[in-house]
Amino acid sequence: MMEQNVRPVVLAPVLMFYEPMRKIIHIDMDAFYASIEQRDNPELRGKPVAVGSAAKRGVVAAASYEARVFGVRSAMPSATAQRKCPELLFVPPRFDVYRAVSKEIQEIFHAYTPLVEPLSLDEAYLDVTENLRGIPTASETAAEIRARILEQTGLTASAGVSYNKFLAKLASDQKKPNGQFVVTPNQGPGFVEGLPVERFHGVGPVTAEKMRALGIHTGTDLKRQTLAFLEEHFGKSGAWYYGIARGKDSRAVVPNRERKSSGSETTFSDDLFAATDIEAGICAMAEDVWAWCEKTATYGHTVTVKVKYADFRLITRSRTVSMPVATQSKLRELSVALVRTVYPVTVGVRLVGVSVSKLASVDQTIPQLELELLGEE
């Protein structure tokens, strides 16, 4: 028997790339506009409130949870809302206040991750896969963020936690108000199957009606359809529906702006009146901000001090200097000088904060400092 020469089969190495499992949080403030009105006016607390106009052709911009019990919803004609809830109290919107509070909340988000994608004044996605605080789980991160929001603004937020944006947003509705819900990778597909298609992002009333006409009522029904079937009936959106029916969403959290400032703030356990106590808090916050400046080699031209009183009134004081604030002592000096402009304190101080803005990198800062030193010689 002839011996056959058998050539060994050499298998080319297969390179497999795995994306790390992402940790996504969707934060949604609870009845944001109405809750701010109830926070700022104690007489409205516990009562059905609508933000908007009671005029004949008015529209409800937002409704408190007390009003929602009666079926009052945002975008509802005011006349309809009043018929549903005769005791409904209308308050005019204060969008400048809502924007200011939203900015406070965004600052809290950025203390945990630079990957923040605001959707509106009252909701945002956060990618906390590598959060700045080193918190091991997204669930713990979300709980801490919600606690800070409540502590600093007096408002509650709900959170959804999952491994993609689609599921995180669905999850944030599960335990409203003031709740938190987690959908793990093992739970994702099953979680979607039991939900009505109206709950899905990208499925509006018209699409939902079309799906029902095709016998698609739940995630399970949607999952039964082939990609070809969905593309035939829904065009380019068919691939999206095919993916979300399986709990899949590859969209990244995309911040829509460069970081323009960095700050730190703290809420005191007791309201402060003494200047020494307030300034100690300011100095501690200035040290936190300076740690960030050193870590990122970024410095600010503008220093801002924030003071919030026990009645939630908020004031800020800022100073802009020609040279970036490139030393810790200078940052502390400017911060203390700014907070002293709010004295005397007649209402207790519950929160103080320090931030830097008009940022410059170390490459921009060093030449400027050298020029300043040359000018002093």
Biggest distance spanned by C-alpha atoms of the chain: 107
Q: In which band, very low, low, confident or very high, does the pLDDT at 257 lie, cut at 50, 70 and 90? A: low
Q: What is the DSSP string of 143-192?
A: HHHHHHHHHHHS--EEEEEESSHHHHHHHHTTT-SS-EEE--TTTHHHHH
Indicate whether 128 pLDDT > 50.
yes
Mean of per-residue pLDDT scores for the chain:
88
Q: In this structure, are strands 89-91 and 116-120 parallel, antiparallel, or unpaired?
A: unpaired
Domain ranges in the chain are 19-185, 188-244, 261-376
Q: Which amino acid is at 34?
A: A
d(CA 253, CA 266): 27
Tens digits of residue pLDDT in 2-23: 444 444 544 444 444 344 589 9
Question: For the domain bounded by 261-376, which CATH number is listed?
Answer: 3.30.1490.100
Among this protein's residues, is 123 annotated catalytic? yes
Q: Which amino acid is at 354?
A: V
Active-site residue identified among 66, 104, 107, 123 = 123
Give the bridge partners for 213, in sequence order.
none
Indicate whether 370 pLDDT > 60.
no
Query: Residue 219 in contact with residue 192, Cβ under 8 Å?
Result: yes
Give the pLDDT score at 16.
Answer: 42
Q: In which band, very low, low, confident or very high, does the pLDDT at 110 lie, cut at 50, 70 and 90? A: very high
Tens digits of residue pLDDT in 333-363: 999 999 999 999 999 999 999 999 998 865 4
Indicate whether 104 pLDDT > 70.
yes
Of 3.10.150.10, 1.10.645.10, 1.10.150.20, 1.10.260.40, the CATH number of 188-244 is 1.10.150.20
Q: In which band, very low, low, confident or very high, does the pLDDT at 146 lie, cut at 50, 70 and 90? A: very high
Of 3.40.50.1110, 3.90.920.10, 3.30.70.270, 3.40.50.720, the CATH number of 19-185 is 3.30.70.270
Q: In this structure, what token pair is assigned to residue 335?
A: 């911060």
Q: What angle do CA 95, 100, 103 make, to 5 degrees?
A: 125
N-term to C-term CA, the chain: 98
Stronger pLDDT, 295 or 221, i.e. the higher one:
221
